[in-house]
Amino acid sequence: MLPYKSLIQVDRSSSVTLYIQVCNMFISLITDGTLQPSDLLPSSRTLADLIGINRNTVKLAYEELISQGWAESIERKGVFVLSSLPILSKKKLPETNKTTDPQEAFLWTNHFKNSAPSKNLQKTVLTIDDGFPDVRLAPIDQLMREYRSISRKFYGKSFLKYGSSKGSEHLRTSICNYLSNTRGLVISPENILITKGSQMGIYLAAQLLLHPSDHIAVGLSNYSSADQTFKHSGANLLRIPIDDNGMDIDYLEDCLAHKKIKAVYIIPHHHCPTTVTMSMERRLKLLKLAKEHRFAIIEDDYDFDFHYDNKPYLPLASIDHNQNVIYIGSVTKTFAPALRIGFMTGPPSFIEAAASLRELIDRQGDTVLEEAFALMFDNGEMDRYFRKSLKIYKQRRDLFCELLKSEFSEEITFKIPEGGLAVWSNFEEKIDLIKMSGEALKKGLFIDDGVFYKNESFSSNGIRMGFASLEEKEMIKAFEILKMIIR
């Protein structure tokens, strides 16, 4: 007889009744091959004594097994595993000394074997991040108040049903007004798609634009997640140099003379990772080339709202008269990263197709949250937040750069960014960023190791050092730890 005393164990504190627990354990023994068709189960008296429960409980468990088709009762012989069940091979325990990967249960292609796991910043206390907003400044209470208010109203119940895959019409209208007022971008609500952030917009654009072996031009240094998205679509990346005036459009023009390019991906405003801004001369030339060569421009404008030293340049989308630009932006990258709200605009037929594709992978977003954000735009709360946070982030940028210069003048070189939420910082070559990051974590400071920014053509010993989410005392403490490790 099998060692039922260890195989069948009940939890008296569980909300699941004891007889169902026993029934489920027998089912597991059958499905993993421990019990085979026609095997005799122990008598109700024997099993009750072994596992310390009432005999009637065991009888109920056997009755449930029989009713579900797992067992059968034969008069004067007992209860048996149903004889007509297929024979299942017994589950093998993993070999502890086996070094090769276990054989997969089914065939599939893992395109992400070498991808690094995403960083969980929810569990860290002191962080020099990639350049994220300080969630403590965001008017979350007001947003949740609007959310609760909508959900309580009689018309709010309708937002719990399926809606448009383009997103809340109210939010699309609010964002249209916001884009018109801040960026001179005049579009209709029907020509905007609400996304779960910039990354979804990049993915949708890549899937619609690119086919295997197509060429897409990207920066020599570039946002790594965008690179991976384009590679996943099968496209070839054509690296274009980046200097203090952004992407080198003359170099791009030379490439166009002998190579067909399907699209150009740019971050003209606070390029990631280097934070440089593309000059207006280059923007106009890029638009001219797009018209002549009929390629798409994917404009990623993830943090337009934070520009400190002068008025920000208008996006390419605002001065594009030939519908070459697919414009991608984010609301929550400037509010709170985990509240996923972004947007994408472009030629009407392209946005319709993007909405259809989005529906295949994510039917729609959180309509109630989108409605709450719409009200935040309408009542001026978002505008007040942007103005307040812009002032605070400028002060933090100035202090951060002042401390960098005074404390790390020999180890770190940088330029004060005109905007954005991070400083692109180049470390001395002798400083091992991976080792530095590991040592800092041991002392309670999370700081990036620089791997995310490297690619086949770019290997600067640098990282983006986010200042926006750090108060003065946190900056000082973080730099004390960093100084201790570096020196």
**All domains of the chain, ordered by start, with CATH?**
4-81 (1.10.10.10), 119-487 (3.40.640.10)
Q: Answer yes or no: is pLDDT of 105 > 90.
A: no
Give me the pLDDT at residue 235, please: 96
Residues constituting the chain? 487
Give me the pLDDT at residue 304, please: 86
Contact 204, 263 (CB under 8 A): no
The arithmetic mean of pLDDT across residues 24-52, rounded, is: 92
Give me the pLDDT at residue 309, please: 81
Give me the pLDDT at residue 92, please: 59
What whole-number distance in Å separates Cα of residue 218 and Cα of residue 301? 15
pTM, rounded to two decimals: 0.80
Residue 375, classed as helix, strand or coil, is helix
Q: Answer yes or no: is pLDDT of 173 > 60.
A: yes
Q: Answer yes or no: is pLDDT of 424 > 70.
A: yes
Q: Which of 418, 308, 298 is nearest to 354 (CA)?
A: 298
Q: Which of 182, 129, 177, 130 is nearest to 387 (CA)?
A: 182
Residue 52: count of CB within 10 angstroms of its CB: 10
Q: Answer yes or no: is pLDDT of 39 > 70.
A: yes
